[in-house]
């Protein structure tokens, strides 16, 4: 039994002890969730027997617990699923897994013996890791074809909107991977443009959720809340016009397309909303047409393997879906193993070109900071050995880091060091001499030597490119390449 500690007792505990208390609370909550599932099962048995019929058991749960109707429906659904798989229910009742893990394990389309293995492993992992293990198990042991999976996912689509208790509009949506890839490709350019605009602000920067809300406001209704955002939209449309993907009238610029600014509407309506721009209702001002780029192996595109393709946003698409999408003029398959050049730009260029970024996304798939799985759309390409220190712009010297961890790494003096399971953030120890010189530890070639005048000298070792012998084996510098990062990728 977990004893409740008062505030004074909690104040005396160290960090590790407080973390242990949190773990105990979660295990107790999981055990109670398992008990709740068993109680709901008993109520359902009473209802089915006719002794005490209950047509709306979720409302009974709502009235008994005080949760919202939506949450009551979710809890009742999880309880029903758990009772169908005894191994899952037992693990939940023992406190080994939480309700989200239980729901994911029940939905896994794998044989029961594989499900039992997943349940046993889930006790040692968080919910996100458990879901990744389930996806891997479904790919290995599942009997569902890619077409069947596509049809099932499309059937499960849904969306909705409504007002909360404060009158704010809430949206939700769920799409199959193909449709989602198109939506992501349409929204991502503006979201990226808003991030590029925001990251130069030292204070008052929008949160990612606010940035996404502003992106949707323009995509759905042509509303930009600030003149800066309106300028970002105009620059996007202007670029599309130069590239031949949009007509000049679609940009929202010029007399016909601009409409009244928010400040002009404020005068007319007598309100005090912030300056910005609303596009005229009949002008259909929208984002430029989307292009979806899918990175896929040449053998998979030719139906020789079942390897999935990966979009710029990190979404996996089945080979059949990529071939189907490739019939569209706005879909660009980018083939690994084609006639393109190697993924190595060298030291001359600092910025990461689009082709190399796509290869980086295919390899890393998410932020490489331990425990973070932010999608590629929220990540930067980080040079492991800084470009100014002679680090080349190639696949071996790059890693995806989300905006938050990328900024944290540079601001707090961390570097990425290769570990047995991937990159390990290590804080640099700077040695200061009396003369004002600053040296970094000898084991890190990515360190710079700065003198009192602020001049910077790059280290002698500036080439992190790998050497490949005749047998195809690759030797990488010890400080640069993490295990499993020796893919030779080519793209068109």
Please name which of 477, 483, 420 lies closest in space to residue 445, comparing C-alpha atoms: 477
Q: Is 147 exposed, middle or buried (0-12, 13-18, 19+ CB in 10 A)?
A: exposed
Pairing of strands 292-297, 331-336: parallel
Q: What is the pLDDT of residue 35?
A: 94
Q: What is the pLDDT of residue 444?
A: 37
Predicted TM-score of the model (pTM): 0.59
* Helical (H) or strand (E) element with 439: strand 438-439
Query: For 309-421, where are the E strands, in sequence order?
Result: 309-311, 316-317, 331-336, 379-383, 398-402, 414-419
Mean pLDDT, 10 residues at a time, the chain of 492 residues: 89 94 94 93 90 89 92 91 92 94 93 94 93 90 81 92 90 91 86 85 86 91 84 81 54 36 36 48 51 72 71 74 62 54 48 81 87 83 83 87 86 85 77 45 39 39 38 38 37 32
Q: What is the pLDDT of residue 373?
A: 84
Q: What is the pLDDT of residue 395?
A: 87
Q: What is the pLDDT of residue 480?
A: 36
Q: What is the pLDDT of residue 393?
A: 84
| SS3 call for 419 | strand
Q: Report the interhelical angle of 127-141 vs 112-122 (nearest 10°).
A: 160
The tokens describing 484, both together, are 């499993």
CA dihedral sign of residues 86, 92, 93, 95: positive
Angle at 221 (CA atoms; ends 218, 226), nearest 5 degrees: 45
Query: For 182-290, where are the E strands, in sequence order?
Result: 223-224, 277-278
Phi, psi of 303 (to 5 degrees): 70, 20
């Amino acid at each position: 039994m977990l004893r409740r500690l008062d505030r004074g007792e909690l104040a005396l505990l160290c960090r590790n002890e407080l973390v242990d208390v949190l773990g105990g609370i979660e295990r107790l909550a999981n055990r109670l969730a398992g008990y709740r599932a068993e109680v709901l099962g008993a109520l359902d048995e009473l209802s089915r027997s006719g002794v005490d019929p209950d047509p709306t058991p979720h409302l009974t749960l709502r009235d008994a617990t005080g949760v919202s109707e939506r949450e009551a429906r979710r809890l009742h659904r999880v309880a029903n699923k758990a009772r169908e798989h005894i191994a899952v229910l037992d693990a939940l009742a023992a406190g080994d897994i939480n309700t989200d893990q239980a729901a994911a394990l029940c939905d896994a389309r794998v044989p029961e013996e594989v499900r039992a293995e997943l349940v046993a492993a889930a006790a040692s992992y968080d919910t996100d890791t458990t879901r990744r293990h389930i996806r891997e198990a479904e790919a290995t042991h599942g009997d569902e074809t890619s077409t069947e999976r596509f049809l099932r996912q499309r059937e499960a689509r849904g969306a909705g909107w409504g007002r909360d208790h404060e009158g704010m509009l809430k949206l939700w949506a769920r799409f199959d991977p193909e449709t989602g890839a198109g939506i992501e490709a349409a929204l991502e350019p503006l979201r990226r443009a808003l991030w590029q605009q925001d990251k130069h602000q030292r204070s008052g920067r929008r949160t990612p959720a606010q940035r996404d809300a502003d992106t949707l406001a323009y995509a759905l209704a042509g509303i930009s809340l600030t003149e800066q955002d309106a300028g970002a939209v105009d620059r996007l449309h202007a670029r599309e016009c130069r590239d031949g993907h949009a007509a000049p009238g679609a940009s929202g610029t010029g007399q016909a397309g601009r409409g009244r600014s928010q400040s002009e509407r404020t005068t007319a309506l007598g309100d005090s909303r912030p300056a910005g721009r609303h596009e005229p209702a009949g002008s259909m001002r929208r984002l430029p047409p989307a292009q979806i780029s899918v990175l896929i192996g040449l053998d998979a595109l030719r139906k020789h393997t079942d390897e999935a393709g990966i979009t710029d946003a990190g979404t996996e698409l089945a080979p059949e879906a990529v071939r189907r999408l490739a019939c569209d003029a706005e879909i660009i398959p980018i083939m690994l193993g084609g006639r393109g050049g190697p993924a190595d730009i060298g030291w001359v260029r600092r910025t990461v070109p689009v082709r190399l970024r796509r290869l980086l996304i295919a390899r890393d798939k998410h932020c490489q900071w331990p425990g973070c799985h932010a999608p590629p759309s929220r990540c930067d390409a980080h040079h492991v050995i800084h470009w100014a220190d002679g680090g080349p712009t190639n696949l071996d010297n790059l890693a995806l880091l989300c905006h938050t961890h990328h900024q944290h790494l540079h601001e707090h003096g961390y570097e990425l060091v290769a570990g047995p399971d991937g990159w390990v953030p290590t804080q640099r120890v700077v040695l200061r001499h009396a003369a004002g010189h600053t040296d970094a530890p000898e084991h890190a070639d990515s360190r710079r030597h700065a003198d009192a005048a602020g001049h910077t000298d790059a280290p002698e070792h500036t080439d992190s490119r790998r050497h490949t012998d005749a047998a195809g084996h690759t030797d990488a510098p010890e400080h640069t390449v993490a295990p499993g990062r020796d893919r030779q990728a080519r793209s068109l």
